[in-house]
């Protein structure tokens, strides 16, 4: 899985624009949380690039970039959780799951629709 690092608030406007052409996945990860590590490992272990070529994945390190996480919450009208996966399409969050509810198969279904 090839992540694009989300490390600047200015990227959020670009992501919102990109989401008009391709779905965006944002994985919000806490490097201090074992549940977050488990969710990330499970997602990466199952990820198949050939199945997921209609999405651009972004990785947000919550510990290093807490301000960006706060802006994601505001911009996409989602409550902050960690770990958390958002799928953005046409500028809106169309999927929002956290902790062990982060499920590759469900993400795959959302991305195909």
Half-sphere exposure of 62 (CA within 13 A, CB side): 20
Return the SS3 of 65: coil
pLDDT recorded at residue 112? 85
Long-range contacts: 97-106, Cβ < 8 Å, 24+?
Answer: 99/35, 99/39, 100/35, 100/38, 100/39, 102/39, 102/42, 102/43, 104/42, 104/43, 104/46, 104/47, 105/46
Closest CA to 40 of 52, 54, 28: 28
Tell me which architecture the domain covering 4-112 has in CATH: 3-Layer(aba) Sandwich (3.40)
How do the domains of the chain map onto residue ranges?
Answer: 4-112
Tens digits of residue pLDDT in 49-80: 777 788 999 999 999 999 999 999 999 999 99
Distance CA 23, CA 32 (A): 28
Tens digits of residue pLDDT in 38-56: 999 999 999 887 777 889 9
pTM here is 0.94
Return the SS3 of 97: strand
């Amino acid at each position: 899985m090839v992540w694009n690092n989300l490390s600047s608030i200015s990227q959020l406007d670009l992501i919102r624009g990109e989401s008009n052409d391709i779905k965006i996945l944002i994985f919000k990860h806490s490097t201090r949380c074992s549940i977050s590590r488990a969710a990330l490992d499970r997602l990466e272990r199952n990820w198949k690039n050939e199945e997921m070529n209609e999405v651009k994945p972004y990785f947000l390190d919550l510990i290093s970039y807490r301000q960006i996480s706060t802006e994601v919450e505001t911009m996409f009208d989602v409550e902050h959780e960690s770990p958390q996966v958002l799928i953005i399409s046409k500028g809106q969050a169309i999927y929002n799951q956290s902790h062990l509810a982060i499920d590759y198969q469900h993400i795959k279904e959302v991305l195909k629709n």
